[in-house]
Amino acid sequence: GAQLPDGSAPASHGVVSIVIVAVCCFIVLENLLVLVSVCRNQKLHSAMFIFIANLAFSDLLAGLAFMANILLSGSTTFNLTPVQWFVREGTAFATLAASVFSLLAIAIERHVAVTRVKVYGGDKGCRMVLLIGACWLVAAAVGSLPIMGWNCISDLRDCSTVLPLYSKRYVLFVVTIFTLILLAIVGLYGRIYCIVRSSHADIAGSQTLALLKTVTIVLGAFIVCWLPAFVILLLDASCPVRSCRVLYRANYFFAFATLNSAANPIIYTLRSKEMRREFRRLLCCCGAPGRGAETPGRCALPLRTSSSTERWSQKQGLPASPGTRECTTSV
């Protein structure tokens, strides 16, 4: 990131860096928990949760990318080659692009689900894989543009202040594309709400509305967290060199934006009962050494629901074990 014009760094830079690295570790762990939960639980294998898992994967990579950015910033930056610098920053841009495209994919999936348009047909899984693959291919392309030549090495007057080797035109291009995509997502959700409100009760079911509220909250959290960073990047693209001192504090705005990757798993947990149950199972089996040691086999199997375990015990005439009762407590 950009340093102050006099070359000095804030006195608290070291403490802030430690806090940010700790937050990034938390981001990686909680999004890994989301991915494991979706893989284990058959009820979370719907198209909606597959796309949420894809968003969690991009958030996990964002946590790793921002952690690497912090560890390789400051005085370490001067030891990096231009290619290494482009890889460091391009990875962060690619994960941001993947998050935006994942939000777009979720909005399209919700629109398809509400309008009952059967675009998936019989090869639903194949089409989801293609859509998710396209998200990552485009995201990788966006992040790779500077290293492939769209940079300011040959024209220093066009250099960004926040991202010194990036062209201001590239920064403006990325922010414009992301803003247009977010506006399109908001438009899709507006249309979905209109369809739900004007449709019959069976379409506006509780599950549809609950999922719609969840993804709307996720979108709102993304906009709230990333809007200040987008404003900083727009200022960076428009301000003359050294004229906007706030640009030298851009790292704080990007650190705030990274909190979005920490907020998403919390939103999933608060909004999805099945996700809460799966989190409880994982934490119960892995968090307490005593319980995990007592029931290693049960913890290794992908459980569908707590009720299925209880029904099996009743059919066999066996009482539910204390570990099962505690791990599958309904929320």
pLDDT tens track for 15-45: 878 888 999 999 999 999 999 999 988 888 8
Pair 255, 150 in one domain:
yes
For residue range 68-84, what is the model confidence (pLDDT) as tens digits? 988 888 788 888 899 99
Query: What single-letter amino acid sits at 301?
Result: L
Pair 316, 235 in one domain:
no
- Cα separation, 204 vs 177, in Å, equals 32
How deeply is 91 buried, as exposed, middle or buried, from its count of CB atoms within 10 A (0-12, 13-18, 19+)?
buried
Q: Determine, yes or no, domain membership for 41.
A: yes
Pair 244, 322 in one domain:
no
Longest dimension (CA), the chain: 79
Pair 214, 306 in one domain:
no
Q: DSSP assignment, residue 321?
A: P
Pair 246, 313 in one domain:
no
Query: What single-letter amino acid sits at 149?
Result: G
Q: Determine, yes or no, domain membership for 7.
A: no
Q: Determine, yes or no, domain membership for 4.
A: no
For residue range 222-242, what is the model confidence (pLDDT) as tens digits? 999 999 999 999 999 988 877
Pair 156, 46 in one domain:
yes
Pair 246, 304 in one domain:
no
Q: Determine, yes or no, domain membership for 245.
A: yes
Residue (of 5, 101, 34) closest to 262 by Cα position: 34
Pair 297, 249 in one domain:
no
Distances (CA, A) of 167 to 21, 164, 174, 228: 28, 8, 11, 20
Task: Please check the confidence at residue 213 and state whether its pLDDT lies above 90.
Answer: no
Pair 183, 113 in one domain:
yes
- Orientation of helix 47-71 relative to helix 124-144, angle to 10°: 20
Confidence of residue 215 (pLDDT cuts 50, 70, 90): confident
Instruction: Output the CA torsion sign for 211, 216, 219, 221.
Output: negative
DSSP of 243-267: S-GGGGGHHHHHHHHHHHHHHHHHH
Confidence of residue 208 (pLDDT cuts 50, 70, 90): low
Which pair of tokens denotes residue 39? 């893989």
Task: Please check the confidence at residue 308 and state whether its pLDDT lies above 70.
Answer: no
What is the CA angle 174-72-152, rounded to 5?
A: 40
Pair 98, 166 in one domain:
yes
**Cβ density class 248-285: b for 16+ within 10 Å, e for less:** bebbbbbbebbebbbbbbebbbebbeebbbbbbbbebb
Task: Please check the confidence at residue 89 and state whether its pLDDT lies above 60.
Answer: yes
Show the domain range for 207: 13-271
Contact 47, 124 (CB under 8 A): yes
Contact 199, 122 (CB under 8 A): no
Task: Please check the confidence at residue 200 and state whether its pLDDT lies above 50.
Answer: yes
Pair 22, 118 in one domain:
yes
DSSP of 159-228: B-SSSTTBBHHHHHHHHHHHHHHHHHHHHHHHHHHHHHHHS-TTTT-HHHHHHHHHHHHHHHHHHHHHHH
For residue range 94-112, what is the model confidence (pLDDT) as tens digits? 999 999 999 998 888 888 7
Q: Determine, yes or no, domain membership for 87.
A: yes
